[in-house]
Structure 1
Amino acid sequence: MARWWEVPPPSRASYLAGVDPELLAVDLDPLPDGAPAVVQFHPTAGTVGDPVDVLLGELDRAALALFPAWLPGAEHLEGPQGYGVPAVRALAAEAASRSRTFGPFLADLAERALRGRASGRLRFPAEVRAAGLARVVADAYGRDGTALLVHVPTGLGPASQASLTHAAEWLAHCGRLTVWLAGAPLDTVDRIRPVPLILPPHLTGLAAQAQHLDPPTGTEPVPVFTFPPLSGQPRHDSAAESTLERALAPHEWARDRRWNHTYDGPLLGLTYRLDLCWPADGVVVEVDGPEHRQPLRFADDRQRDVHLQLHGHDVLRFTNDQVLADPGAVVEKLRQLLHQRRSVKERIAHAEH
């Protein structure tokens, strides 16, 4: 049986009829084997603007953040000093020769990434940028292609619906992106093909659970654009995760931590992405952004926590605001929990001998 992301045609724009995009977002975290690299766009009613310009800018930002994952060999370069710039441009030219990516664009992108510069992306036509950025994002995750999941908001007028669907079609055509629109109906647009999906039971069951939960409220907005984290690193688009990593780095007791680690749960064959964990100690830390207040994500979090706890893990959750406001307090709580877990393990080992 085909998995749901294999049903819509690739390199096309499709409307996923009757599907909550947040449910799909839960199923795409972590990225399943065989799925494309999926980035997500959360426009809001009244602020759609020019989606093509917004999305090209966001894709560019993601590509710079994901460097050097998409350029083999660049991980050995220490910066733009010395031969760094000629070397990274040579690596980009070599990579472009093995793909359909325009060589000068890739070399320019690689140099900007090495220099840590966000400017300069308008040097190339939009069509070149779209195709190049889509390929770079896919390469960063080792995937065959890139898909864009658009969370269609309620309240879009005819002009905004037309602008959003035009952007979806343009990106699919020029960038060879697979575009999925899901959410509020596009009732004034008839040129986007609707695609019905049959979702797996674990997703439909999660939707049923979410109806009976009351997630917390907050004022922090959901980011307009998100992309998956790379295993072994804090999220590049999360100030909270980066802040926590800097706070943990000086401490010897915090060694052996893993960021965005994929955990294959023994229960029901479920796979989880853990924001931060110490696998040997059974300690899991989740850093929750505003998307975790969404009912489906909130229900999934509760289910994950129960499964992890049933298999011997301690799970601590902190909001972005908590980490950013007082990272030292968060670090101290982690130190105490790790010390407690390790002391218990030592006592058990001593008793067995």
Structure 2
Amino acid sequence: MRSWARLPVGRPVWLDGADTEAVALATDPLPDDAPALVTYLPADARSTTGFVAAVLCELQRTAVALFPAWLPGAEGLDGPGGAGMAAVRTLALRRASASDHFGPFLAELAELALSGRPDAPSGFSPETRAAGLARVIATSFGRSRAALLVDVPAGLSPAGQEVLVAGCEWLAQRGQLGVWLTGAPLDTDRVPHVTPPLDTKRIQHVTPPLDGDEGRPRVSYPAVAGRPHPGSRSEQALEAALARYAWAAGRAWNQTYRPHPLAAPVRVDLLWQDERCVVEIDGPEHRRPRTFDEDRRRDVRLQLAGYAVLRFTDSHVLTDPQAVVRQIELYLSRRRGTPEG
């Protein structure tokens, strides 16, 4: 089986026999040899310039959301007031001086992140932004490179396909990104086909779209260990609710469990390690047959290792977070042998 690290950088490639769900399952958690992976659902673009601009906008939003994972030392800075902006700029320039990051670009991005302006225009060229954003996203996950997984929409006209392929070529070359294509087939010989390192038993069928797939986020990316996923409203809401209670101490977000070195790792949304309690929050994608099946496999592996798995839908967390918190508290109290509050 090929390694993720051996997929080419600098030109787009088509992933044979895979779809975005299969790749998502295979890269959650990120394998040790995989680049930091951002999945992109393209919008309709009439020109290569427009396509590139839309992708760079989404990558900038991603980088801002991932802050401060890519800037060590910025964790304690809170908002643009006072000396915060000067401090974050100094941190960024210091970070760049000891790395491959371009200092002025990193400083600008850090200021945008601290001020909460993900959509603010950049003063740098598209070429500088493409390379800089790729480095920042890779750094966020402790990787040396990043890849963009493009889910090609169905029904593209020949002109639309040309725009998409040309835009992907530009991003791969100028950003030194891995650009991987899946989805609807393209009528072109400009994109070579490669075989990704996937378990073929898990990609034997393509799952049909769910109702409401048109509401999918334009961009998705893995979680950073130790934090609620910045793109998950439900994880953010549950963390805000749990932060009010002393009994919730000891929780850790988006941790990876591996029973032994040869076993496939499992990423869990929320973990209390001492109590061996796992909390999973399921969005609509967990209703897909393949993802549902994978969830059950993961649950069994965790249960055999002595972990309890509490599953809640994201709708439940968002509409009644206190009920979810109460159920977690009841379980932890029993596990700890302490009186229920």
**CA separation in 1, counterparts of 2:146 and 2:335?**
41
Paired residue type of 1:105: F
Q: What is the CA-CA distance between 1:290 and the residue it aligns to? A: 2.5
Residue from 205, 212, 217 that aligns with 2:201: 205
Paired letter, 1:253: W
Q: How does 1:243-282 map to 2 (within 5 A)?
A: 243-266=237-260, 269-282=263-276
Q: Is the 8 A contact 1:12 1:172 kept in 2?
A: yes
Instruction: Tell me how far apart the structure 2 counterparts of residues 215 and 166 of structure 1 sit (CA, whole Å).
Output: 28
Which is further off, 56-65 or 95-104? 95-104
Aligned to 1:123: 123
The one-letter amino acid paired with 2:153 is P
- Counterpart of 1:275 in 2: which secondary structure? strand
Aligned length: 334
Q: What secondary structure sits across from 2:274 in the alignment? A: helix
* Letter matched to residue 108 of structure 1: E
The alpha carbon displacement at 1:42 in A equals 2.5
| CA distances 1:7-53 after superposition (whole Å, capped 9, x unpaired) | 32123211112222311111110111122111111337xx4664322
TM-score w.r.t. the length of structure 2 is 0.89
Residues 40 and 219 in structure 2, CA contact (< 8 A), matched pair in contact too: yes
Alignment match, 1:285: 279
Distance in 1, matches of 2:306 and 2:101, equals 47
* SS of structure 2 residue aligned to 1:71: coil
CA–CA separation in structure 2 for the residues paired with 1:332 and 1:100: 47
**1:167-316 correspondence to structure 2 within 5 Å:** 167-186=167-186, 188-197=187-196, 199=198, 203-207=199-203, 219=212, 221-266=215-260, 269-316=263-310
2:280 counterpart SS class:
strand
Within the candidate set 303, 318, 322, 2:316 is matched to 322
2:51 equivalent in structure 1: 51
Task: Give the TM-score of the pair, scaled to structure 1.
Answer: 0.86
Q: Secondary structure at the match of 1:121?
A: coil
CA-CA distance at 1:96 after TM superposition: 2.7
Contact 1:18 1:183 (C-alpha < 8 Å) held by counterparts = no
Select between 335-344 and 215-224 the one with higher mean Cα deviation.
Answer: 215-224
Q: Percent identity?
A: 49
In the alignment, which residue of structure 2 is the partner of 1:64?
Answer: 64
Indicate how the Cα distance of structure 1 residues 196 and 33 shifts in structure 2: closer, same or farther if over 3 A, else same: closer
How far is 1:275 from its partner?
Answer: 0.3
CA drift at 1:218 = 5.4
8 Å Cα contact 1:216-1:293 kept in structure 2: no
Letter in 1 for 2:236: S
Helix, strand or coil at the partner of 2:244: coil
Q: Which residue is 1:350 aligned to?
A: none
Following superposition, the deviation at residue 94 of structure 1 comes to 2.6
Q: Give the secondary-structure state (helix, strand or coil) at the position aligned to 1:259.
A: strand
Query: 1:169-203 CA deviation, whole Å, 9 max, x = no partner?
Result: 111111111101123211x222111223453xxx2
Q: Shift in Å at residue 54 of structure 1? A: 2.2
**Unmatched 5+ residue regions in structure 1?**
345-353
Distance 1:312 1:264 in 2: 13
Letter in 2 for 1:229: A
Distance 1:197 1:87 in 2: 43
Stretches of structure 2 that go unaligned for 5 or more consecutive residues are none
Q: Where does 1:150-169 land on structure 2 (aligned, <5 Å)?
A: 150-169=150-169
C-alpha contact 2:17 2:203 (8 A) present in aligned 1: no
Which AA in structure 2 matches 1:206? R
- The range that moved more, 304-313 or 139-148, is 304-313
Cα separation, 2, equivalents of 1:166 and 1:19: 22
CA distance in 2, matches of 1:216, 1:334: 32
Instruction: Give the whole-Å Cα distance in 2 for the aligned partners of 1:207 and 1:195.
Output: 15
What is the identity, as a one-letter code, of the residue corresponding to 1:312? G
* Higher relative helix content: 1
Partner Cα separation in structure 2 for residue 216 and residue 257 of structure 1: 34
Which position in structure 1 is the counterpart of 2:147? 147
Q: 1:299 & 1:268 partners in 2: Cα distance?
A: 22
How far apart are the structure 2 equivalents of 1:167 and 1:222?
22
Structure 1 residues 7 and 184, CA gap change in structure 2 (3 angstroms): farther
Do 1:101 and 1:131's aligned partners in 2 also have CA atoms closer than 8 Å?
no
Encode CA deviations 1:48-72: one digit per residue, 9 max, x unaligned. Answer: 6643222211111111111122123
